[in-house]
Structure 1
Amino acid sequence: MLKKTFPFIVLLSTLLICYFSYSIGLKADFLFDDYPNLQELGTYGDINSWDKALNFISNGFSGPTGRPISLASFLINDNTWPSVAYSFKLTNLYIHLINGLLLFWATLLLLKNYNYSEKKAIWIAILSFSIWLLHPYFVSTTLYVVQRMAQLATLFSLIGIIGYLQGRLLLAEKPIVGYILMTVSIGLATILATYSKENGALLPLLILVIEFCNSNKINKPLWQWRAICLWLPSLAIAVLMFRYINLSAEPWPNRNFNMVERLYSEARIVTEYLFNLYIPEIEGRGLFQDGYPISRGLFQPLTTFFSIIFLVVLFISAFLARKKYPLFSLAILFFFAAHLMESTIIGLELYFEHRNYLAALFLFLPLSAGLIWLSEKIDYKLVTFISILILSMLTLMTWQRSLLWSNTDNLQIYWAKNTPTSPRAQNAIAAILIDQGRYQEANAHIEQAIQRLPNSALLSIRLLLQKVYTHQATEQDFHQAITRLSIQPFDAQAVQGLRTLVEYVVLPENINQYGALSLKLIAAMQKNANYKDFPLFLRLTPYLQAQIYAASRQPVEAYLHYKLAMKRYNDVEAGLMMVAEMASKDYYSDSTQLLDQANAIYQKQEVKTLKRSKAEYDFEIPRLRQAIEKMKNQKIKDKYEN
């Protein structure tokens, strides 16, 4: 009895150990991309109706699909913002445990399809899933709330793989049931995975890799089915990827690398991923990867060349060893295939650990199979000891990394000190110093960082923002910022910094001192060569200028800039916000004209792009018009009575 239940006991113990190893990190706060992705939970009040829920789910911006399934999952934890990160992180941990169970199931079915005996398959699957589940590399995916997107894409991909493998086993006795199960599993899981995160679209290719590495020809699906359900969608992804190829000098205005440089850099990065997965460490590079050294050529740096050679040899060896060592081939080819979308020609940021969450699912299969094989050749007690030692070390490292992740400020300081070439890292340190009231230290830190990183617009904006925030900014500080920002390349973080700066400047106590200088700053940035290639900045600048003019009591200029901003945003929600801002300054005639423009935009706007339901806008626009008229009449009445 104990022999039969022992694998189950080990499986359950691994899940419990994983839970307790992660639990210490659940008390940390939100990080970076959590805020822009989750703050929409409270933008228009609590999400307390189906219409509001649908608007939140369908208005994602993290990828081409909007990732609605991932956004829907966040409503499990809260329906408003600000929120508390604990429940979000706990749900992520549960998903990680579920993914572990699904991986065990998928690996067990895979080994059966690869003609392994049941006893051997069970222990290989247990060891492989345990290494993946307890690996410290995935702490950053599990405890970083927004990476639930990567987790869910993996979850649905595993469900698709399980359905395919189970259906394949049924082909001998129940072929119709088998084909139906495989087809439905792949089709449905691919859709769900893709709408969780776009790399879920790679599922048919990943299953094709599993089939390709299977030397067991028994129950092999018909070539017609493979062509339609595996080859055709994989080819469609290849064609879609091919359309991204752009060998121009600057294919991505908001990146400091071109496509060739990205491919060179990714060779080093993927090699580093593999190294860290097999030689783990407690904490790696973290999330401050904007300063990652770019490969400018085949030998710049020299590690680029050696990384390419290593990956090519690994890829070729996976093909050559396919029949004799199918699990080795599967581990390598599956890893490469899963990185096809995020680590090749699409202009994403270079380095993120979470890209390995799906890619590494079967990476530890060869090691696990090797240990089980070794237990049959030598004393199994020694191999058991080695296996327990490996898992114990991984558990300890995961617990230590979770402990580090439990304190968000300390974590960011740790990352920042280890990435001195990252402007975002230096920005994070300054933010922590400001929160602690250490203003002079914050200014000195950014000034030193600017000397090291003279091309960072983020740091230039940050320094000026800090001085305005502490009422230390002089005209010379603005002129220095103008000189830098008129030529520095800038990104979304720099633009957000400008927006935050204007929020301070338009306050009554700041507008007279900093309003005109801020207008000069924005005008200088508009002359920057990057300006025309940055749609966010193109929309935002007239809006910021309008806010400054309105706060400075210059209604004509405010109206003209609000009008231009409304045209560029071309969104009724943004337009109504501008109308309200104009009315709040008592410019009623101008706000009424802006409301007419917002209503015209609403009439032409597609329903699917609306932030709220049509019924709400049909009520809100006349209500706002009546409110403006009422305020206007009240002001006239007050003036007459006085």
Structure 2
Amino acid sequence: MQKSQAWLLLAMAITVAVYWVGLSGPLVLDDHYNLEVLQRWLMGKATLHAILFDGRSGMFGRPLAMASLALSAWLGGYTPFAFKLGNLIVHLLCGGAVFLFVRRIARLDVRLREPAGAIAATVATLWMMHPLQASTVLYSVQRMAMLSTLCTLLGLWLFVAMRERLQRGKDRAALIGLFAGVPMLTAAGFLAKENAVLLPALCLVVELGYFHDTLRPRAVKSFFGIYVLAPLLLGLAWFATNPSRLLAGYLRRDFDWQERLLTQARALCDYLSKIVLPNPPRMGVYTDDFALSTGLLAPPTTLIAICVLASISVAAWRLRRRLPSLFVGWGIFLVGHAIESSIIPLELYYEHRNYLPLLGVLYALVGLTVALGRRLQSEDFRPGRIGITLGAAVLVLFALGTHGRARVWSTPESLALSAVAAHPQSVRANMALVDAALRHGNGEMAAQSLQRLVDADNPRTRALGHLNRLYITCALDRNGDPNDLKQGTTLMPTHLTYAEPELFGLLLDKTGDGCGAVDANMLGEALAGMVNRARAQPDSDWAKWQLRYVAARFFALAKNWPRAREQALLAWQPGSEPAIASLLVQTQLATGDLAGANKTYYEAKRRIDPANAQDMAGMKYLHSQIEAAISQGSQTYTK
């Protein structure tokens, strides 16, 4: 066994030890939302087909990732430990793939060829132990990103291997590997997470960095024409003819696509700072308070970030022949972020988006370090011992930092406390701390967290602070403060987002049997008024009809059937869920509108999937209610 391989195995063992304390930590954010189908599967209430193809993430449910998570649940039960141990195993596999890929491309670099094995082991070790990776490894549902990255890394290694063979002449096996193997790994990665579609573009980065001095074979040109240029042109043509299909998601965001692009410049620079100079206490999974850029100088760091990114890009391009590792590394970082830092209406910032791009920065830094060392040697300096000492110190700091992050992730309380310290105005971080505090009976800490939100700079955060305080008091004391309801709905910006339906849905669950001075009718009126102010959003928008539906349910709880019917009718949009029909029919029957109830029933029947047993049962129930109303001849029929 070579020294580099032995070092890699040792690094993997250390990585396991570093992460072990965090494997029993909590599920966070959308973990349970995406994984609860596994719990139902283990109980015999869901099929494997539902797990693989009815997933709630991505375009096609990400079946490869869901299959892997199902295996974890089957072996270890529906527990955080089972999912996170599986993530750690995939992380080690990715580390091995990093080693293989980096060793392969380092051998193409004149400056890195001789120590290629050592460089690959160093980069793989830094990558596995970097503190920024904790937000991926210990975030259960990020198995999707990890498997996608594994396929991408294997695809990159295969591309370089086949490309070298083609450089030596015609090779049928190389052509098969290039035109079949790389696309197959792209497809496999796509079935874990869509980011894998970037694999051919990443291959182009390697091609431009390491194969620029030779005559490019026709097969290679054809490969990039078919798998990079053609999809790019088709994608642009599709977007040009269907812009609303992509941009419609911004209806439920606090920003538009221009603001998102401006903000991503700052986000990329922030990622860079955390990669180059990691500060574990600043890291975390609750980053919903990341400031929005509304212009080049709002804030001024937006323009600075754009200049930094442009300067590095220009330097990497101009030095691509002398320092190909800088060009390739920087290209991996930028291309790796090309989907999640584009105009796609995703949230602004997440650390786990760096799982693959981090590799590019580390490779570029190691390449620059080796180049600097050779330059110093040429001037009679001997940096070897200093370099080894500094490298060892960095690895120790990385290991300690990642272990610290794993300890933070080990309990909901420590994760929430750390998140609030780093992001004091994050709604998610403060609500996680409220939840942890209430579980331990610490009402004072919960009140402090809610007050932080009420006092925040962002108007939506203040509004959510008031409404969350109302939710907590309703859940605990059944005695909500009407002022919190008034302030929450009045302060709320007129643009509705994903957050409001979720929060009012929770309020609905806690106010079924009253909430003191805040009754169901008051909640319905406040919510209806808030939705009415969102005039810029069409009634067919998801957030709007969802909130109308919740308002209708509040009115139904108060037996205010005319208002319930009004809101339910507004919620019954062409794109809304058939389940809303059940409430609408109830309100129509309660107000004597038998014809309207019958019409709603047949509209709903056209929308449902006949193969869905639950929907069919719901339709049968609606029909029985209508038939009962008709047979009784009642004009005041209620459920």
- TM-score range (shorter-chain normalised) is 0.7 to 0.9
Q: Decide whether the 8 Å contact of 2:4 with 2:117 is kept in 1.
A: yes
3-state DSSP class of the match of 1:614? coil
**Residue type at the aligned position of 2:224:** R
Q: Decide whether the 8 Å contact of 1:427 with 1:459 is kept in 2.
A: no
Q: Decide whether the 8 Å contact of 2:489 with 2:526 is kept in 1.
A: yes
Bigger drift between 94-103 and 64-73 goes to 64-73
Counterpart among 539, 545, 549 of residue 543 in structure 1 = 549
| Whole-angstrom distance in 1 between the partners of 2:443 and 2:535 | 31
1:112 paired to 2:116: no
| Whole-angstrom distance in 1 between the partners of 2:365 and 2:452 | 47
Residue number in structure 1 paired with 2:176: 180
Deviation at 1:402, TM superposition (A): 1.1
**Residue type at the aligned position of 2:479:** Q
Q: Superposed, which structure 2 residues align to 1:256-275 within 5 Å? A: 256-275=254-273
Residue number in structure 2 paired with 1:35: 32
Q: Superposed, which structure 2 residues align to 1:199-348 within 5 Å? A: 199-215=195-211, 217=213, 220-222=216-218, 223-237=221-235, 252-348=250-346
Q: Decide whether the 8 Å contact of 2:18 with 2:399 is kept in 1.
A: yes
Residue number in structure 2 paired with 1:472: 479
Counterpart among 60, 68, 75 of residue 73 in structure 1 = 68
| Whole-angstrom distance in 2 between the partners of 1:79 and 1:556 | 50
| 1:181-216 CA-partner distances (Å, limit 9, x unpaired) | 011122112222233222222111111011011146
| 1:306-354 CA-partner distances (Å, limit 9, x unpaired) | 3222211111111111111111111112211222222233332222111
Residue number in structure 2 paired with 1:155: 150
**Aligned pair in 2 of structure 1 residues 67, 506: CA closer, same or farther (>3 Å)?**
same
Residue number in structure 1 paired with 2:19: 22
Q: Decide whether the 8 Å contact of 2:209 with 2:327 is kept in 1.
A: yes
1:84 paired to 2:79: yes
Q: Decide whether the 8 Å contact of 1:204 with 1:234 is kept in 2.
A: no
Bigger drift between 361-370 and 15-24 goes to 361-370
| 1:388-415 CA-partner distances (Å, limit 9, x unpaired) | 2222221121111111111222211221
1:496 paired to 2:491: no
Q: Decide whether the 8 Å contact of 2:198 with 2:336 is kept in 1.
A: yes
**Aligned pair in 2 of structure 1 residues 455, 571: CA closer, same or farther (>3 Å)?**
closer
| Whole-angstrom distance in 2 between the partners of 1:110 and 1:303 | 35
| Whole-angstrom distance in 1 between the partners of 2:256 and 2:625 | 51
**Residue type at the aligned position of 1:134:** M
1:526 paired to 2:541: no
**Aligned pair in 2 of structure 1 residues 77, 234: CA closer, same or farther (>3 Å)?**
same
| 1:532-553 CA-partner distances (Å, limit 9, x unpaired) | 3583333323432443344445
3-state DSSP class of the match of 2:356? helix
Q: Decide whether the 8 Å contact of 1:292 with 1:421 is kept in 2.
A: no
| Whole-angstrom distance in 2 between the partners of 1:396 and 1:440 | 33
| Whole-angstrom distance in 1 between the partners of 2:570 and 2:51 | 27
Counterpart among 398, 415, 430 of residue 402 in structure 2 = 398
Residue number in structure 2 paired with 1:638: none
| Whole-angstrom distance in 1 between the partners of 2:372 and 2:304 | 32
Counterpart among 132, 137, 142 of residue 142 in structure 1 = 137
| Whole-angstrom distance in 2 between the partners of 1:537 and 1:255 | 10
**Residue type at the aligned position of 2:131:** P
Q: Decide whether the 8 Å contact of 2:38 with 2:78 is kept in 1.
A: no
| Whole-angstrom distance in 2 between the partners of 1:591 and 1:69 | 48
Residue number in structure 2 paired with 1:164: 159
Q: Decide whether the 8 Å contact of 1:559 with 1:590 is kept in 2.
A: no
Q: Decide whether the 8 Å contact of 1:168 with 1:219 is kept in 2.
A: no
| Whole-angstrom distance in 2 between the partners of 1:592 and 1:85 | 51
Residue number in structure 1 paired with 2:632: none
Q: Decide whether the 8 Å contact of 2:251 with 2:537 is kept in 1.
A: no
**Aligned pair in 2 of structure 1 residues 97, 8: CA closer, same or farther (>3 Å)?**
same
**Aligned pair in 2 of structure 1 residues 88, 558: CA closer, same or farther (>3 Å)?**
same
Q: Superposed, which structure 2 residues align to 1:588-607 within 5 Å? A: 601-605=604-608
Residue number in structure 2 paired with 1:368: 366
| Whole-angstrom distance in 2 between the partners of 1:131 and 1:81 | 29
| Whole-angstrom distance in 2 between the partners of 1:14 and 1:396 | 13
Bigger drift between 131-140 and 542-551 goes to 542-551
| Whole-angstrom distance in 1 between the partners of 2:336 and 2:561 | 55
| 1:228-285 CA-partner distances (Å, limit 9, x unpaired) | 2343334445656778989xx9993333333333333222221222222111222324
1:100 paired to 2:100: no
Bigger drift between 250-259 and 615-624 goes to 615-624
**Aligned pair in 2 of structure 1 residues 618, 323: CA closer, same or farther (>3 Å)?**
closer
Bigger drift between 268-277 and 615-624 goes to 615-624
1:13 paired to 2:13: no
1:412 paired to 2:416: yes
**Aligned pair in 2 of structure 1 residues 562, 21: CA closer, same or farther (>3 Å)?**
same
**Aligned pair in 2 of structure 1 residues 254, 505: CA closer, same or farther (>3 Å)?**
same
| 1:469-513 CA-partner distances (Å, limit 9, x unpaired) | 22232445444444334x554432232111111111113x55996
Deviation at 1:72, TM superposition (A): 3.2
With normalisation by structure 2, the TM-score equals 0.83
| Whole-angstrom distance in 1 between the partners of 2:343 and 2:612 | 43
**Aligned pair in 2 of structure 1 residues 397, 237: CA closer, same or farther (>3 Å)?**
farther
Residue number in structure 2 paired with 1:351: 349
**Aligned pair in 2 of structure 1 residues 477, 266: CA closer, same or farther (>3 Å)?**
closer
| 1:530-589 CA-partner distances (Å, limit 9, x unpaired) | 6835833333234324433444456777677667656666545x369869x979xx99x9
Q: Decide whether the 8 Å contact of 1:575 with 1:595 is kept in 2.
A: no
| Whole-angstrom distance in 1 between the partners of 2:90 and 2:22 | 15
| Whole-angstrom distance in 2 between the partners of 1:530 and 1:134 | 49
Q: Decide whether the 8 Å contact of 2:18 with 2:402 is kept in 1.
A: yes
**Aligned pair in 2 of structure 1 residues 401, 358: CA closer, same or farther (>3 Å)?**
same
| Whole-angstrom distance in 2 between the partners of 1:595 and 1:570 | 18
**Residue type at the aligned position of 1:426:** N
Q: Superposed, which structure 2 residues align to 1:416-435 within 5 Å? A: 416-435=420-439
3-state DSSP class of the match of 1:506? coil
Q: Decide whether the 8 Å contact of 1:576 with 1:595 is kept in 2.
A: no
**Aligned pair in 2 of structure 1 residues 263, 616: CA closer, same or farther (>3 Å)?**
closer
**Residue type at the aligned position of 1:462:** N
Q: Decide whether the 8 Å contact of 1:45 with 1:80 is kept in 2.
A: no
**Aligned pair in 2 of structure 1 residues 407, 254: CA closer, same or farther (>3 Å)?**
same
Q: Decide whether the 8 Å contact of 1:70 with 1:196 is kept in 2.
A: yes
Q: Decide whether the 8 Å contact of 2:471 with 2:507 is kept in 1.
A: yes
**Residue type at the aligned position of 1:14:** A
Residue number in structure 1 paired with 2:466: 460
Counterpart among 189, 195, 206 of residue 193 in structure 1 = 189
**Residue type at the aligned position of 1:547:** R
With normalisation by structure 1, the TM-score equals 0.83
Q: Decide whether the 8 Å contact of 1:97 with 1:133 is kept in 2.
A: yes
**Aligned pair in 2 of structure 1 residues 592, 26: CA closer, same or farther (>3 Å)?**
farther
Deviation at 1:296, TM superposition (A): 3.2
**Residue type at the aligned position of 1:336:** L
Identical pairs, percent: 23
Structure 2 stretches lacking a partner, 5+ long: 630-639
| Whole-angstrom distance in 1 between the partners of 2:87 and 2:371 | 35
| Whole-angstrom distance in 2 between the partners of 1:479 and 1:82 | 44
